[in-house]
Structure 1
Amino acid sequence: MQARTRWARVLFPALILLILTAAFLFSRVWPLTAYVKKGLDIAGGVRLVLQGEPTADTPVTRQAMEDAARVIERRVNTLGVSEPNIQLEGQDRIVVELADVHDVERAREMVGKTAVLRFVGPDGQEVLTGNDVERAQAVQDPASGNFVVALSLKGEGPKKFEEATRKYLGQPIAIYLDDEMISNPVVQSVITGGQAQIIGDFTAQEAADLASLINGGALPVKLNIIENRSISPTLGQAAFQKSLQAGAVGVALVMLFMVAIYRLPGFLADLALIVYLFLTAGALIAIDAVLTLPGIAGIVLSLGMSVDANIVIFERIKDELRKGTGLRSAIDVGFHRAFAAVADANLTTIAAGLVLQYFGTGPIKGFGLTLWLGTAISFFTAVTLSRWLLVLAVNTGWFGKRSLFGIREEVQA
């Protein structure tokens, strides 16, 4: 027995066992879907549409809306939301989609507040604004145990605050956020060093949120929430489970079809499909991508591309076998002749997916990502992995009958 045959007879069953074991572990014991980030339509969350409202002092411009979107993004980052979707819509609207948000009211408050901070003396004179604040931080006062917001001032802020505390010594300096008084402390002494505090009846979360609003900066324009839609995690999870079930049924039917029509090559193609699903899920986890329902559609479509590539290749192999070509030669010729057509189809789909991801918005981007990523992976599994498994199977010497490749054996008279 040749060394190649001996190695093939050891390696081939070992690979089959490895793939099937991995399929069980990564679908039942440690499901990869649990580690993939879910989008708004799966994990639930909130979708807000904010419209700019022009005033006499602040007209709504494209630049102002872009600045507002950046301020909202800084605020949203403090919520710990995975991959928030913040985009401009038209000239005066911003769409904010926050997935897997548990405290919806807090998210709305953080996104929609203008957050104009002002320190005002008893005579109505403005002492400081949010522009004078370099950094805000929620801390616990060791003396009282209450939570306060500590401010570090910048630029002319320390000088202005020192002059104000000297001027209003023994008098209150009111602190306003969006024209709402949040604190009215009495100046006990002249404050130098560029440090200030906002004292109020804050919880730890309220103090942290106020500090985040100040750090994020005030919105350059007033924004009104014109659409406010919440998706419950239960509803999103139900849709996700139904999509997975539909995908599982579709994959099972495809696998049965491949085995029924192409026998051994179809079975090996099914194993390659399993590897494709693992690699796709692993890639989504590795790049920290967010999976949405349109993204699942992209994965299913790229899976179809993989099956289509296998069908084209296996039909070429069957053509060669009908001509009387040997198994190994038929495999080499079949893959070679089908490669150009398979490559063209996959490359055009990858290009389309990249265009959708780059120029699309919202769910379209997720669909484009999974489409090109899944197609690239399926091209590897359908062309490279399937061929390697097929050659390895033939090298074992166990599968010499042409009927195992979907070809009827000719009966000699």
Structure 2
Amino acid sequence: MTRRFAFILAVLAAGAALGGLTGHVGELLGGPLYLPAMIALQVVGLYGSTQAIDLRAVRRDLGTIVAAVTVGVVVKAALITAVMVALFPHPASLVLGIAMAQIDPLSVAALQRGPRLSRRGRALLLAWASFDDPVTSLLTVYVAALASAASGGSVLGLGGPGSWAADLAANLTLAGVALLIEWTVRRRLRRWPAFLVRCVLLTGVAVIAVAQVWVLAAALAGLVVRPRWPGRPHAVDRFLGRATGAALLLATALLGFILSAGVSPWAGLVLGTAAFGVHAVVSLPLTRRQAPSDRVPMALAQQNGITAIVLALLLEPAFGGTVAIVAPAVLVTNLLHLAANAWHGRSARRPDVSAVPRGGRFERDADLVPEVVQ
């Protein structure tokens, strides 16, 4: 995890160095391909997060997941936004809290090999992180459109709430068509024909999602449209994992490029700290039915990655200075995550001295370390 974080920092620094040398930040933001490219990166990230969800494993905690990605996301976004608006009264503050409210599924996936969470806890956290990405993406875009419209601007061509309802209906319609085609494929086709039709369907959904900014449809498609190479069922998953990782690196490099124009370290520090702290507060009541050993790691799970980065890149043309705040905020949340989880890991391994019989010793290692379900 630390090596991965260091590599991403190196990519960010390289992007910043290139931006400082060329000085073409304004030309990049005003270019005709900038917004379509950012939407494409967002589509890749959202599909990559939802297609990795094991739907059978999350049924047990479906209520918790639904609460986390609806009420939990809204409460987190509202609290973070309240802090930013109070300390930094700027139109961009209305959307910064939402952009940072989600948990990065790529970073969560990197934790799945660790022993700190039970199998159920790992499944719940990964599903939570994957599902809250499309919710925060939609909230960010719609609230940004509202904030921009109040000042006479426009974000991604969205109008008022009436157009939002139509946009949401279009997303659900496209996802519904994809589900219907997938259902037909499962009933009528086998092996190679099914694989090819799913690939064509997925490509079509992605193209439409990018052209129309229907990112929710791409995320929902990840739940049902999952091509599987005959004889090599995990080949597509590995390809998608690499594609999502490449999208993260490209987005990070672009973030650094724009960051070369200036940085707001204090606002970023406040935003990152607020995002990490608010998640811990909101997580505890949401996970009250989970095992006690899982609740603390989940409360310390806030990380930000590709979704927060891409949302910052999307918002930068309409809200100048967004990248200057979000970039250091992402750094702060991830550093807090590493430090807090390292502390918790050491605390979990520390023996309970009060449990040692007077004058005696522990008889086996199980007395020192709580049992972890693998």
Q: Is the TM value for this pair above 0.5?
A: no
- Structure of higher CA gyration radius: 1
Higher relative contact order (CA 8 A, sep 6+): 2
Q: TM-score, normalised by structure 2?
A: 0.28
Q: TM-score, normalised by structure 1?
A: 0.26
Quick check: which one's strand share is greater? 1
